[in-house]
Amino acid sequence: MGIDLRSLSQRGGAGFLRVLRERWDRPVFAALASVSLIALGLILFFIFSEALPLFRTISLSNFFGGTWLPTVEPNRFGILPLLTGSGLVMVGALVVAIPFGLAAALFIAEIATGIIKDIAKSVLELLAGIPSVVYGFFGLMVLAPILQQIAHIPYRRTALLASLILGVMALPTIASLAEDALTAVPRSYREASLAMGASRWQTMWRVTFPAAFSGIIGAVILGMGRAIGETMAVLMLSGNAAQMVGSFLKPVRTLTATIALEMAETPFGSEHYHALFGIGAVLLIITLAMNWIAEALRGRLARKHGS
Amino acid sequence: MMTGPAQIVKRRTTAQRVAFSLLTLASLLSFLALGAILYTVFRKGVSAISWEFLTKMPKSGMTQGGIYPMVLGSFYLTAGALISALPFGVISAIWLSEYAGGGWWVRTIRIGVNTLAGVPSIVFGLLGFAFFVNVLGLGASLLSGAFTLGILILPILIRAAEEALRSVPNEFREAALALGATQWRSVRTVVLPSAIPGIMTGAILGIGRAIGETAPILFTAAAIYKTRLPDTLIDTLMSRTMALPTHIFYMATENPRGWQAVDLQFGAALLLLGLVVCLNLGAVIWRTRVRRRKQW
């Protein structure tokens, strides 16, 4: 990197211009390539700098308090009900996504072959590509009436409804990343196990799965991150009641839905405005922490198997 | 006691058969989810799709008429996102794959790209609102929304372009350099042209993502209802716009007369779903063909 002074002097008088003409690309590209870092920097800077003014008037313990009442005097900006709402919906989603996602991963990595495998992978990609507003629309128009009839719930939109749809949305993430982890296990592990007389199922369950375990946990954590950060589907399906709720059969409100619901009607620079950025900051911290943990686990797996 | 070798083998085979059946069944169920969504939305939405639906303005509080302005708005937003993000994406990828080698700056940028990919879409909306709408003073407008979506699809574009560049064999670069080309010339005339098909895959995936995103444009660009299209280019760029995904959201949840137009709602959802599925399927098929055709 940088300009080689020796070659510059060797080329005589025109050397400097020549170096400029021939070597401009490296520093220019290095600078322009940082655009994604700049974008990330902008996100961190604006979310946190717009969230901080809130704490001039509100203590941290109030921010994590149990009442969210942003527009009625006296205003309360306690995000605990939103945190529990997000948590509840996420747990429900994982109950759906983990077993089915891991089954799909094992199926694709260990059972399916040839064209079936290709089709299954494409189906996962398509499932991951469906916009969240379409998932929300499908849940509201198709699944909600069915669910209401089966479970005899008085509410149309509940944590349960949001969890089911969110589970389907998190499934492809978990499945494809867990499949990556399983595929990354060296073939020699499987061959050794099969050569010892173990069946394919025994090999899969006792050798491959444990060997890929840290990567699989990474996949699950990344799925959790997706579920926490998902906005439109939960906004349309969870009912958005900002109360502390411990039941799947009642409406709940998540962190993401609160921002989407209230940002448009908030005066710029008001306490409420800063509180919504505060929620954004909490959301960002949670999802980024999950991403980094997942990356670290996946990285550990790759190092362990020396690939 | 039945513990002879034959019994053990038999028990093991049974266990395997049961386990494989359960796993296959569970996977089939999750693949069925895709089928159920596609089938229901298609069956209930296909009757609404017509030439008039796609090319006419909405009427009577959007409960009748077409969805032309939403389609147009989504097209502009997506095109704007791609135009603003693709150059940066390709340049980042060129640097990562052709110039960088190893080192701390590469690792930092890679972490940056991965982290950006994990940021929730509503947080992009917050960034767009604080930065493009307020600080840059673009207001809630098509431009703000397009830029916000551009940042959102940047990681997709970078990853696809980098993969495409990396799959160009080293002999190509060495041949160009051996003929006396500078590195930039070798990249521009040899490496980049060979990587164009792969970069296209990324662009298609980026379009598929941008066209369906709702949360980032909710308060940076989206209008609930506009009765007429803007007249001038400036007006188009600088005013709020209707878009397909936000229209689906508003009709299903906020429009009190939405239930009068359930058919049209399913029609709009089918259009968006169809577009996204076709784009993603197209990208998958295109990618497979590109990989197969490359015999170098």
Q: Same structural domain for residues A82 and A54?
A: no
CA gap B196, A54 in Å, rounded: 48
Residue A74: asked if its preceding bond is cis (omega within 30°), the reply is yes
Tokens standing for B125? 């909306």
State whether A294 and A201 are in the same domain.
Answer: yes
B39 CB near a chain A CB, below 8 Å?
A: no
**Which band of pLDDT confidence, cut at 50, 70 and 90, is reported for residue A12?**
very low
What is this model's ipTM? 0.92
The mean per-residue pLDDT over the stretch B63-74 comes to 89
- What is the Cα–Cα distance from B273 to B36, expressed in whole angstroms? 13
Tell me, yes or no, whether A84 lies in a domain: yes
User: Looking at CA atoms only, how far is residue A90 from chain B in angstroms?
Assistant: 14
**Which of A39, A106, A283 minimises the CB distance to B151?**
A39
Q: What are phi and psi of A76, to 5 degrees?
A: -125, 135
A81 and A33, same structural domain? no
Q: What are phi and psi of B219, to 5 degrees?
A: -120, 15
Where does a domain end: A31, A62, A93? A62
pLDDT of residue B104: 85
Which residues in chain B have their CB less than 8 angstroms from residue A164's CB? none
Phi and psi angles of residue B64, each rounded to the nearest 5 degrees, phi first = -140, 175
Helices (H), A184-270: 187-195, 200-203, 209-211, 213-229, 232-237, 255-262
Same domain, A270 and A150: yes
CB pair distance less than 8 Å for B40 and A142: yes
Single out the residue in A39, A62, A85 at which a domain terminates: A62
A11 pLDDT above the threshold of 70: no
Comparing A5-19, A215-229, A245-259, the range with the smallest average pLDDT is A5-19
Position A53 in a domain: yes
The letter for the amino acid at B19 is A
What band does B295 get if pLDDT is binned at 50, 70 and 90? low
Residues A139 and A161 in one domain: yes
CA angle, B96 then B209 then B129, to 5°: 90
Structure tokens at A51: 């969230």
Question: First CA to last CA across chain B, in angstroms?
Answer: 62
A14 pLDDT above the threshold of 70: no
Domains of chain B: residue spans and CATH: 78-293 (1.10.3720.10)
Q: Which of B123, B204, B211 to substitute to test the interface with A, most A CBs within 10 Å?
A: B123
pLDDT of residue B2: 54
Nearest to A170 by CA among A126, A122, A223: A223
Structure tokens at B81: 């996102």
* pLDDT(A269) > 60: yes
Domain total in chain A: 2
Residue A71 lies in a domain: no
Q: What is the mean pLDDT of chain A?
A: 89
Mean pLDDT, all residues of chain B: 90
How many beta carbons lie within 10 A of that of residue A265, not counting itself?
10
Asked if residue A280 and residue A251 are part of one domain, the reply reads: yes
Residue contacts between A and B (CB atoms, under 8 Å): 260
Do B277 and A130 count as a contact with CB atoms less than 8 A apart?
A: yes
**Measured distance CA(B143)–CA(B146) in Å, rounded:** 5
Straight-line distance from the first to the last Cα atom of chain A, in angstroms, rounded to the nearest whole number: 28
pLDDT in tens, B31-64: 899 999 999 999 999 999 999 889 888 887 777 8
The pLDDT score that the predictor gives to residue A75 is 83
What digits encode the pLDDT tens for the residues B7-20? Answer: 888 888 888 899 99
Same-domain status, A193 and A48: no
Q: Does a structural domain hold residue A159?
A: yes
**pTM for the full predicted model:** 0.92
Residue for token pair 């198709």: A142
**Considering only CB atoms, which chain A residues are within 8 Å of B108?**
37
- pLDDT score at B258: 78
pLDDT of residue A244: 81
Q: Which two tokens stand for residue B74?
A: 């989504």
Closest CA to B37 of B270, B251, B271: B270
Kindly state the average pLDDT of the residues A267-296.
93
Judgement on whether residues A41 and A178 belong to the same structural domain of the protein: no
DSSP 8-state class, residue B260: G
Residue A13 within a domain: yes
Is A154 a member of any domain?
yes
Do residue A190 and residue A132 come from a single domain?
yes
**A68, part of any domain:** no
Residue A69 in domain: no
Assign residue A232 the CATH number of its domain.
1.10.3720.10
Of B94, B95, B115, the CB nearest to A40: B115
Q: Are A138 and B41 in contact (CB under 8 A)?
A: yes
Q: Are residues A58 and A96 in the same domain?
A: no
Do A56 and A87 belong to one domain? Answer: no
Residue range(s) defining the domain that contains residue A81: 76-304
Query: Which of B276, B211, B205, B250 shows the shortest CA–CA distance to B71?
Result: B211
Q: Kindly state whether residues A239 and A173 are assigned to the same domain.
A: yes
